[in-house]
Chain A
Amino acid sequence: MNTASNHDAHGPKSGIMRWITTTNHKDIGNMYLIVALAMFFVGGAMAMVIRAELFQPGLQLVNPHFFNQMTTLHALIMVFGAVMPAFVGFANWQVPLMIGAPDMALPRLNNWSFWLLPFAAVMLVSTLFMEGGAPAAGWTMYPPLVQQTGDAFPFLIFTVHLLGMSSILGAINIIVTIVNMRAPGMTLLKMPMFVWTWLITAFLLIAVMPVFAGAVTMLLTDQYFGTSFFNTAGGGDPVLFQHLFWFFGHPEVYIMILPSFGVISQVIPTFARKPLFGYASMVYATAAIAFLSFIVWAHHMFTVGMPISGQLYFMYATVLIAVPTGVKVFNWLATMWRGSMTFETPMLFALGVVVMFTFGGFTGVMMGTAPTDVQYHDSYFIVAHFHYTLVSGAVFSVFCGAYYWLPKWTGYMYDEKLGKLHFWLTAISFNVLFFPQHFLGLAGMPRRIPDYALQFADWNMVSSIGGFAFGLAQLIFLWVVIKAVRGGEPASDEVWEGADGLEWTLSSPPPYHSFNEAPKVS
């Protein structure tokens, strides 16, 4: 990389061109995180519309079609615009720092994978202003319903293509970096857990994103070029799309949760002041979860009509995932056992994940069981389940990692008081928001419907109040981040008393080009 080494001599360019042309992993990490935060608020605003409409039975604020656009876009934006880019941002910042590499292995590709993202995001949001409205058939895009989308239809498909390209390129970059650029002495089984989980996540991404891209391409050709992949009249089968979608979709949920496990596995040892318990078993458990994620997809489809043998297989395989996940949870508990724990904001969020994500895992076992799933399917129970895994799992982990690394990235301590306030408001309002949805689902309230029967009114009102509180609480996070970027108490190099790893040997903030000389790892 001759050009890269020539750049080492000087710092970043000034002005807007720095951000457009940057190949620096720290710059690109920042941009990913900023986009993720912005999209988190865009997707969150849509959730507020959903909860406002569901505050009372009847139709008050929006028409049903717009309501469905909100649920669809909320999901797509949160998954592809907020959670995934946030973790890629973490990976950009932390993977090179943690393995002692000067930068990502493919810095120019890194720039491109980032810059695909804002264009895709703008394209997706712009569908709101198109004839026929934004996509409204759910983020799962099942045909034939999704084919009733108006002018937004091809834009939806191309958004998926762009986002897919962005994630695939990002994933390739991460794998090449981890495989080729580790500091001398850092063997695979000495890598920090966060790096391990991202390595495995990146493999999931390159394996399933192309399948998803293919599936939506088939939707596109069915719509405009007369093919019949999913068109029954022409001999196709819409259920095939569901198989293809969930072959992508199930690993996708692990793409969002494995990096979360990585963050938690860094944070808990730091604040328990003990090394991670069962490191090797953590690595194997992560790999086992990733492998199992490929062979359980049809548990999302128990109700489409499946032979009993198929239901049994997918049920057993699904419930098997509880084993490696349990290994991880117990290892976190064992890490904390008799540790000298302190409860700074990152640790609070990590504990929130351990408690609430695990709860989401339990409801997952309930739904993985084919006979009971028939009741929960497409009800508010599943909505509660996946928000417990993806909000109190993935989003809490993003907060956890952000608070944990913010002092390292900015060089300033964030406001601990505000951080704790953010945690407690978030954790409490989250449970007020989503816990009642279990009851609503069990009582039979279907998801993606703007109106509901009167007996669901009370819990919906509670849930909406929790939702508004949750939304407002996130403004605190925005303020904490802005405050920490602008200044504050300078952070030490190590930042946290119990922190361990190469990134803490650098100054806070680290120099623009770090580890030009590879550190030695014993």
Chain B
Amino acid sequence: MGDAANKRVTVQLALVVVAMFGFGFAMVPLYDVLCDLTGLNGKTGVASAEGLDGVVDEERWVTVEFTANVNSQLPWKFHPNQKRIRVHPGKVYAASYYAENLSELAVVGQAVPSVTPSRSARYFSKTECFCFNQQRLEAGKGEEMPLRFIVDKALPKEITTITLAYTFFKSEGEG
């Protein structure tokens, strides 16, 4: 076996290396797709038109609980205005949080939602949410943070409680 054969195999193997390096990065969008399909990381959906056919399942009650966290980088106070709401699947409900900037500078924050159990994430949709946009709070000012949500009627029967958690992070680059 000569140089040519060595070169051929080396090039083939180098291509495998390059492909696997690419595969690592391809995992990033693939992971997002997988999470959308399975609700794996508790990321919530945004309501689609079919979800809002207006028919309400009056027979069924689901408890929605609200929790709040603030990342240590963000000098804010942040809490839900209600601990829990009993809801009918298929009906739009309103809820709200309260955030207050404790620092002496205006700060921009971004809330990131997460739903538990993760299996229920794809059945929990928000039609309106303060987490859709970055929120700017002036120094020392507080503000109501509203959201509207709907629980899909297809939510598996055994799920009776859904917990919605928001974590407020400091937004990079602004504020």
Contact = CB atoms under 8 A, between A and B. Distances in A.
Contacts of A307: 38, 40, 118-119
Interface of A: 1, 105-106, 168, 171-172, 175-176, 179-181, 206-215, 218, 226, 229, 232-235, 237, 239-240, 243-244, 247, 305-307, 310
Nearest to B40: A307
A305 B20 contact: no
A103 to B, nearest CB: 12
B39 to A, nearest CB: 8
Contacts of B167: 232
A237 B42 CA distance: 10
B9 interface: yes
B172 A234 contact: yes
A181 B16 CA distance: 21
B118 A106 contact: no
B54 interface: no
A232 B110 CA distance: 10
A237 B41 contact: yes
A237 B31 CA distance: 9
Task: Give the secondary structure class of A's interface.
Answer: helix
B28 interface: yes
Interface in B1-22: 1, 3, 5-6, 9-10, 13-14, 16-18, 20-21
Given A180-B5, A209-B17, A240-B28, 8 more contacts: A1-B3, A171-B13, A211-B20, A211-B23, A226-B172, A233-B169, A240-B31, A310-B40
Interface in B28-68: 28, 31, 35, 38, 40-42
30 contacts: A1-B3, A168-B17, A172-B13, A172-B17, A175-B9, A175-B13, A179-B9, A180-B6, A206-B13, A206-B17, A208-B20, A209-B17, A209-B20, A210-B17, A210-B21, A210-B23, A210-B24, A211-B20, A213-B24, A214-B24, A218-B25, A233-B71, A233-B170, A233-B171, A234-B172, A235-B112, A240-B28, A243-B31, A244-B24, A306-B40
A289 to B, nearest CB: 19
A213 B10 contact: no
Contacts of B27: 211, 240, 243-244, 247
7 cross-chain pairs, A with B, having the tightest CB-CB distances, nearest first: A214-B24, A233-B169, A210-B21, A211-B24, A210-B20, A180-B1, A172-B13
A106 B6 contact: yes
Contact of B16 (A105, A207, A212, A226): A207
Contacts of A305: 42, 118
A172 B24 contact: no
Contacts of A237: 31, 35, 41
A190 to B, nearest CB: 17
A106 B16 contact: no
A240 B28 CA distance: 7
Contacts of A229: 28
A233 B172 contact: yes
B31 A176 contact: no
Nearest to A144: B71
Interface string B114-158: 000011000000000000000000000000000000000000000
Contacts of B18: 210
Nearest to B74: A233
Nearest to B71: A233
Contacts of A179: 9
Nearest to B43: A237
A215 B24 contact: yes
Contacts of A213: 21, 24
A247 B17 CA distance: 15
A447 to B, nearest CB: 24
Contacts of B16: 206-207
B61 to A, nearest CB: 25
A247 B10 CA distance: 24
A176 B13 contact: yes
A207 B9 contact: no
A176 B119 contact: no
Interface in B45-97: 71
A105 B10 CA distance: 10
Contact of B14 (A105, A172, A209, A235): A172
Contacts of A233: 71, 110, 112, 169-172
B10 to A, nearest CB: 6
A256 B41 CA distance: 32
B40 A176 contact: no
B23 to A, nearest CB: 6
Contacts of B110: 233-234
Contacts of B41: 237, 239
A213 B20 CA distance: 10
A305 B43 CA distance: 13
Nearest to A168: B17
A171 B14 CA distance: 11
A218 B71 CA distance: 21
Contacts of A247: 24, 27
B120 to A, nearest CB: 11
A237 B20 CA distance: 21
